């Protein structure tokens, strides 16, 4: 019996255990978990946002410059507004949605995943490299870029052999390509949501036969660009007052003002007595 009484006392002291909040149910609602509930004490959108955007391209496949010994194409991941200057109007998927919230963007780093398939009957040198200036398409000195410290390249066998290769670049930061940390504060390396930066960073995809053999069919190519951007100048942090007609309750009442002035005058007279 004493043991039983002691246990009862302990149970009374402990009381009912509080249940842990269902965090998953609090953050997500619905079976698809596609909605995020933000408590009112938190700001819905932060002053700046860092996110990755991905761009995939096969429009330039096969990469070819028939009759020449070289061919190349360039992209500019620093411009989320227009990644492919050759085609134009090629913004990063998801860019337009974020652009509705923020006013400016700046690229922080990028990487590339390139798949190549040789369509020629002879071997071809395939290369992917970065640059801080625009080399244009079909750069005639593409063979000199094999010594570029930011170059990744493969030797593709003739069609039907070991004619396929995948090149994956590491994450390249803008300051590494340009050679200065000023790119993180210089406005020329950023842009408004409706334009490209003044100074861009490029990634080039090229090929070279390695001899006097001219290209005929080129190389099949797919490139997937992943770039990290910082969006800032949140539109929703810059608020303007509503026009007066939207709040008639705030309009000044002349009769109320006159009554208050009369009462103040009477108070002063009474105080002077």
Query: Tell me, what's the pLDDT at 272?
Result: 74
- Report yes or no: 226 and 52 within 8 Å, Cβ to Cβ: yes
Asked if residue 62 has a cis previous peptide bond (ω within 30° of 0), the answer is yes
Hey, what domains does the chain have and what are their CATH numbers?
A: 45-237 (2.60.120)
- Report yes or no: 201 and 77 within 8 Å, Cβ to Cβ: yes
244 vs 117 pLDDT, higher one:
117
Query: How far lies 117's CA from each of 84, 121, 221, in Å?
Result: 21, 12, 7
Instruction: Give me the chain's average pLDDT, please.
Output: 81
Q: Please tell me the pTM assigned to this model.
A: 0.69
H or E element in which residue 173 lies: strand 172-173
Query: Tell me, what's the pLDDT at 30?
Result: 47
DSSP class per residue in 88-143: ---PPTTHHHHHTTEEEEEEEEEEEEEEEEE-SSS-EEEEEEEESS---SS-TTGG
How many whole angstroms separate alpha carbon 243 and alpha carbon 249?
Answer: 12
Q: Point out the least confidently predicted range of 65-69, 161-165, 191-195, 235-239.
A: 235-239
pLDDT band at 35 (very low <50, low <70, confident <90, very high): low
Q: Is residue 19's pLDDT more than 60?
A: no
Residue matched to tokens 């009862």: 8
- Report yes or no: 36 and 26 within 8 Å, Cβ to Cβ: no
pLDDT band at 41 (very low <50, low <70, confident <90, very high): very low
pLDDT tens digits, 199-228: 999 999 999 998 889 999 999 999 999 999
Query: Tell me, what's the pLDDT at 263?
Result: 74
Residue matched to tokens 């619905």: 30
Q: Is residue 192's pLDDT more than 70?
A: yes
Please give the structure tokens belonging to residue 160.
Answer: 């039907």
**CB neighbours of residue 63 within 10 Å:** 23
pLDDT band at 250 (very low <50, low <70, confident <90, very high): low
| Nearest CA among 10, 105, 116 for reference residue 52 | 105
pLDDT tens digits, 50-107: 999 999 999 998 999 999 999 999 999 999 999 999 998 899 999 999 998 899 999 9
9 vs 75 pLDDT, higher one:
75
């Amino acid at each position: 019996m004493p043991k039983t009484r002691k246990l009862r006392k302990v149970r009374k002291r402990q009381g009912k255990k509080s249940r842990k909040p269902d965090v998953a149910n609090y953050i997500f609602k619905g079976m698809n978990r596609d909605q995020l509930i933000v408590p009112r004490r938190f700001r819905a959108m932060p002053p700046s946002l860092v996110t990755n955007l991905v761009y995939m391209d096969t429009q330039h496949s096969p990469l070819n410059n028939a009759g020449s010994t070289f061919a190349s194409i360039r992209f500019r991941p620093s411009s989320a507004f227009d990644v492919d200057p050759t085609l134009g109007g090629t913004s990063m998927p998801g860019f337009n949605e974020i652009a509705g919230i923020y006013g400016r963007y700046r690229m922080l780093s990028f990487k590339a995943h390139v798949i190549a398939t040789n369509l020629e009957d002879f071997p071809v040198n395939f290369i992917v490299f970065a640059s801080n200036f625009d080399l244009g398409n079909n750069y005639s000195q593409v063979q000199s870029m094999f010594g570029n410290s930011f170059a990744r390249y493969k030797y593709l066998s003739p069609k039907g052999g070991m004619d396929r290769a995948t090149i994956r670049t590491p994450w390249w930061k803008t300051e590494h390509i340009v050679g200065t940390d000023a790119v993180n504060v210089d406005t020329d390396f950023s842009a408004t949501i409706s334009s490209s930066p003044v100074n861009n960073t490029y990634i080039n995809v090229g090929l070279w036969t390695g001899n006097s053999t001219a290209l005929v069919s080129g190389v099949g190519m797919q490139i997937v660009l992943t770039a990290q951007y910082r969006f800032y100048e949140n539109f929703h942090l810059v608020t303007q007052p509503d026009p007066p007609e939207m709040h008639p309750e705030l309009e000044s009442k002349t009769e109320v003002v006159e009554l208050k002035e009369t009462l103040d005058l009477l108070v002063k007279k009474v105080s002077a007595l």
